[in-house]
Amino acid sequence: MIDLDEQNRIIEIDKSNQLEILEKWSSLFKEARENSLKFVIPENVSEPSNIVICGMGGSAIAGDYLISLLKSEIKIPVLVNRDYYLPSFCNKSTLVICVSYSGNTEETLSCFKDAHTKNTMMITISSGGLLEKLSKKTNVPHIKIREGIPPRTGLPLIYTSLLTILEKLKLIEDMSKDFEETEKILTELSTKYSPDKKTEVNFAKEIAYGLYNKLPLFVGHTIYSPLPYRAKSELNENSKVVAISEVVPEQNHNGIVAWDNPNVVLNNVAVILFRDKNEPKPIGIRMEQLKEIVKQKTEKVLELYPQGESKLAKQISLTYLIDLTSIYLAVLYGVDPSITPSIDNLKRVLKKKLNLQDTIEKELV
């Protein structure tokens, strides 16, 4: 097994310096906040009756974070749409926000075209690509974010942009203090979990060792509902491993029963519970009971608690820890976290057999 305290080995394997990008998350939040505050909501985008956020992968997950964060605050329906087409209810009172870090995600481009057909209100977010080009050609307001980083590391850029849009639409209260706290905590954590910090004082490295050659099972709840899926996705893409995502209370109605089988060995499953000292009472009871059940079958049970006071800081502090862990775990496996051969190959096949991007561009330009 590779020693995570050998920085030269980390540099050798993490060829695109994803650890370095993650260490800059604080500045990415600040940059995105300053950038999106300059964005002017056009007159034809006002008082939506519902919002549909279209995206895939690392772009879509920001919408999930937003919904879980604002569930008790925002008064209109907000939906994340991971598909080629919009829901049938979308109309001129719907605000469709198309998000693609690269600007070339074909499902998102297809939704962009569908939104034009349905005459919805629209805003787009990307680092460039065809989405930016089509937005300019069709006079759709566009927020351009920093380019040149792996899409999954762009969460601060997209999430901040989405939240600021809702602020400007006066759908939520001002979040400036929440962003300031989040940036401060990320600055502290970037030092705490840095590659130059030894494993014995680096929790992210310690978790990575604990997940090595294990099947990770992540469980979240409430504002942490998107975190298990984010963790699963980061381990899939960065570490190239299988992982499982669950959310309480739903998990208590199905997934919990898997631990009842007396003939299945589960000691290779590592259970990671996203907790909060201020959990709602029903959730706290459920999480405690789940912990006791899984501990009967596996010793590998870890509870992770957030840092900060605001809900945003809490979400992001745990996300940052897990994202870093996924890179350290990739290093342990000796795999480059940046490359995604299967995705790249699938895109080539889709371009050859479908070539949807060119079709959409010809129809809209």
Q: Are residues 53 and 164 in the same domain?
A: yes
Residue appearing with tokens 């050659």: 213
Mean pLDDT, residues 142-165: 97
Given a contact cutoff of 8 angstroms between Cβ atoms, the answer to whether 96 and 115 are in contact is: yes
pLDDT single digits (tens) 231-264: 999 999 999 999 999 999 999 999 999 999 998 8
Cα distance between residue 168 and residue 161, in whole Å: 11
pLDDT over 80 at 87, yes or no? yes
3-class state of residue 94 by DSSP: strand
Task: Give Cβ neighbours of residue 293 (< 8 Å, ≥ 6 apart).
Answer: 256, 259
Residue 111 lies in a domain: yes
Task: Give Cβ neighbours of residue 300 (< 8 Å, ≥ 6 apart).
Answer: 210, 214, 267, 269, 270, 271
Residue 357 lies in a domain: no
Q: Torsions phi, psi of 123, nearest 5?
A: -140, 145
Q: Which residues are catalytic?
A: 237, 253, 347
Q: Are residues 127 and 204 in the same domain?
A: no
Pairing of strands 244-247, 215-220: parallel
Mean pLDDT, residues 334-354: 95
Domain final position from 119, 153, 178: 178
Residue appearing with tokens 């680096």: 202
Residue 210 lies in a domain: yes
pLDDT single digits (tens) 27-76: 999 999 999 999 999 999 999 999 999 999 999 999 999 999 999 999 99
Beta strands in the chain (DSSP E): 50-54, 78-81, 94-100, 121-126, 142-144, 215-220, 244-247, 269-274, 301-304
Domain final position from 148, 178, 208: 178
- The domain tally of the chain equals 2
Domain final position from 126, 152, 178: 178
What is the pLDDT at residue 1?
79
State the CATH number of the domain containing residue 152: 3.40.50.10490
Mean confidence (pLDDT) of the chain = 97
Confidence of residue 275 (pLDDT cuts 50, 70, 90): very high
Q: Are residues 40 and 161 in the same domain?
A: yes
Confidence of residue 168 (pLDDT cuts 50, 70, 90): very high
Q: Are residues 84 and 162 in the same domain?
A: yes
Q: Are residues 147 and 199 in the same domain?
A: no
Task: Give Cβ neighbours of residue 242 (< 8 Å, ≥ 6 apart).
Answer: 215, 236
Residue 361 lies in a domain: no
Q: Are residues 148 and 173 in the same domain?
A: yes
Q: Are residues 78 and 169 in the same domain?
A: yes
Nearest to 140 by CA among 129, 125, 150: 125
pLDDT single digits (tens) 172-217: 999 999 999 999 999 999 999 999 999 999 999 999 999 999 999 9
pLDDT over 80 at 365, yes or no? no
Report pTM: 0.97
Domain range for 79: 24-178
Q: Are residues 35 and 173 in the same domain?
A: yes
Given a contact cutoff of 8 angstroms between Cβ atoms, the answer to whether 138 and 109 are in contact is: no
